[in-house]
Structure 1
Amino acid sequence: MRVFQIQDDWGIDNLKMATRDVPKPGRGEVLIQMRMAALNARDLIVPERGYGRATGNLPLIPVSDGVGVVVETGEGVSRVATGDRVCPTYFQNWQGGAPSAERFASALGGPLDGVMAEFVCLSQEGVVRVPDYLSDAEAATLPCAALTAWSAISMQGAVHPGDRVLVQGTGGVALFALAFAKMHGAHVTVISSSDDKLERVREMGADAVINYREIPDWARASREITAERGGYDLIVELGGAKTLPLSLRAVRPGGTIAMIGVLSGLQLEASLGPIVARQVRLQGVTVGHRDGFEAMLTAMAQHQVHPVLGETFDFADLRTALEHLRSAKGMGKTLIRF
């Protein structure tokens, strides 16, 4: 079977197409014929060994997100059956409960082999059935970006109707966060540097928008939006070093900042006083568990939520797709067709 793997040494130049034998499912395992994959920001980091030893060992098949069909099952499999359309879970060993180092060490696409292979063999505990209303392309986007947003909005943020939520940017996680926050009845503000993208998120349901290139102090600009609450109940923090100080000013006393991304840098210079004095909860979010994934799929099916799709590339064009992702052109998830 065809695979893409990082081989010989780390670096994007060592991401190459290769062949491996089709795996045989053992007890409790399923063999999946992959149909589509979707890219995330981490797929640019993994080839450069950006997570250090936690990235895994070579050769490594990258990419965590995708969808396929179960074509063979091993002995004792009962969760799914041959012919079922399934998504692999991002963390293969995290079915529910609290996170742990062991569970965090089971991510697909680094350190475990990912989905850029024509056939993938996984534990039945590490897959979920996909609702029929979703296309293959839509389903492929869900394991990392969608579940991260769901964990931030529904599980960690516990958003309620009438809450004020701020979402940073218009990337994959941000657009899912917008959809899920609206599903929960929240008033949502989106910030971006592009007027065109802000117009699009308005059409997707955003209640307020701020262009942070034109208004760098978006924390001050948002005060009128949240006047009656004294700030946002939840901020989906994707920027990192440059945006967190503003988020600390924009969140309400007792509010939550769901820390997901560090796009503007890792090293922080900010006063920690507001966290203590205003009893702000700074909550890290790293995707989520299988139980959360299945709950998210139930909610999406109930509300007929459709992911925003971007460009689609053929399997052999993975390197081109990654460069497209890096360029941050357009909106919607970057997809790989098998």
Structure 2
Amino acid sequence: MKAYEIGSQSGLNSLRLVERDTPVPGPGEVAVKVHAACLNHRDLLTLKGQYGAIKAQDRIPVSDGVGSVTGIGENVSGISIGERVTAPNFVTWLSGKFTPAIFAQDLGISRDGWLAETIILPADAIIALPDNVTDAMAAAIAAAGSTIWHCIVAFGDVQKGDLVLTLGTGGVSILTLQIAKALGAQVAITSSSNDKLARCKEMGADYGINYRENEDWAAALMAATGGRGADIIVETAGLNSIEESIAACAPNGRIALIGALSGQLDNVPQLAGLIGKNVTMKGITAGSREMLSELVALISRAGIEPLIDSKFTFDNAPDAFAYLESGDHMGKVMITF
């Protein structure tokens, strides 16, 4: 089979196309023919050697994907050949609370991911997809979607009428907008592009803040909401923006810290606002199979179609990584097989 490997992890040029024997499922496993995969920011960091320790050069990247079952190992039941499936990126985190042990089986990081013609997955990790959840819907949600569900449902306890704030217009933020609206929440979103903010408004965003035009974007959000602020913040930028996020919070707000897109910390942030507003902040590391399963059910029920900015063929996968790095995208970047 054809597969991509992460190589020396010295930059995007490290990605290399190779031929491998098609893997065979062992006991408790299934083989899945990959239909499509979607990229996340951590896929870029991995190729640059900036996502934890340097990994084996033959690691297959990418955490989000969808495919159909082509092989079933011993001691597996309840799964049929041809069934369309997806899986969380932490394939051993089935339910319950987070434990560091899950990092040992992280698709695209500590275990081979979706950027190959066939992937091997634990049978108890896969989620069968309803007919009305298309490949394009499913490919975009595994790592990103389960993370969002953890942020706004499992941790944030989102209620109808709550205001959810998400930063930027990348894949996670746009999917946050769509999921939060389907759950009856209001949504505020930030961007440096008024055109992107206009598109977000068309998708249902209640508030759009241009952080380039409003350096104190938290004050701009407070003004727009009549001093209310956000009940839940999906913080993708990292600690460089945490003071603004705290300032944008409503009393008793919840901040889900999931990324560091703004880079390394420039200074020690002032966190006194956490106390003044009784804000809760939690680091979020993706989500469990149970969380992803609940999201799949919502997508099926509400007809959520994650925004796919662009599609690249498998042979042109390096171009997909380069496009993601450019930052020109809005929503997800997909690779089709």
TM-score normalised by L of structure 2: 0.95
Cα distance between partner residues in 2 of 1:203 and 1:12: 34
Q: Is the 8 A contact 2:88 2:287 kept in 1?
A: no
Q: Is the 8 A contact 1:61 1:114 kept in 2?
A: yes
- Give the deviation of 1:125 after TM superposition: 1.6
The aligned amino acid for 1:29 is: E
- What is the aligned partner in structure 2 of residue 321 from structure 1? 320
- Shifted more, 40-49 versus 125-134: the winner is 125-134
- What is the aligned partner in structure 1 of residue 275 from structure 2? 276
Give 1:1-338 correspondences, 5 Å limit. Answer: 1-7=1-7, 10-53=10-53, 56-227=55-226, 229=228, 231-267=229-265, 268-338=267-337
Per the alignment, do residues 56 and 261 of structure 1 end up closer, same or farther by CA in structure 2, a change over 3 Å counting? same
- Shifted more, 260-269 versus 220-229: the winner is 220-229
Identity %: 39
1:237-257 CA distance string (max 9 Å, x none): 111233211111111222111
Q: Is the 8 A contact 2:323 2:329 kept in 1?
A: no
The aligned amino acid for 1:307 is: P
- Give the deviation of 1:276 after TM superposition: 2.4
Cα distance between partner residues in 1 of 2:192 and 2:268: 22
Mark the runs of 5 or more structure 1 residues left unpaired by the alignment.
none
Per the alignment, do residues 15 and 31 of structure 1 end up closer, same or farther by CA in structure 2, a change over 3 Å counting? same
1:125-159 CA distance string (max 9 Å, x none): 22111221122222111101122112211111111
- Give the deviation of 1:113 after TM superposition: 1.0
Cα distance between partner residues in 1 of 2:11 and 2:329: 26
RMSD after superposition: 1.6
The aligned amino acid for 1:41 is: H
SS of 1:3's partner is strand
TM-score normalised by L of structure 1: 0.95
1:62-117 CA distance string (max 9 Å, x none): 11111110011112212422110011321011001111111133210011111111
Cα distance between partner residues in 2 of 1:73 and 1:117: 18
Mark the runs of 5 or more structure 2 residues left unpaired by the alignment.
none
Q: Is the 8 A contact 1:3 1:17 kept in 2?
A: yes
1:204-240 CA distance string (max 9 Å, x none): 00111111111111111122344364x2111111112
The aligned amino acid for 2:237 is: G
Q: Is the 8 A contact 1:164 1:226 kept in 2?
A: no
Per the alignment, do residues 15 and 217 of structure 1 end up closer, same or farther by CA in structure 2, a change over 3 Å counting? same
- Give the deviation of 1:51 after TM superposition: 2.3
Cα distance between partner residues in 2 of 1:9 and 1:336: 20
Q: Is the 8 A contact 2:240 2:264 kept in 1?
A: no
Q: Is the 8 A contact 2:90 2:103 kept in 1?
A: yes
Cα distance between partner residues in 2 of 1:314 and 1:69: 18
- Give the deviation of 1:269 after TM superposition: 2.6
Q: Is the 8 A contact 2:62 2:108 kept in 1?
A: yes
Cα distance between partner residues in 1 of 2:280 and 2:106: 26
Q: How many residues align?
A: 336
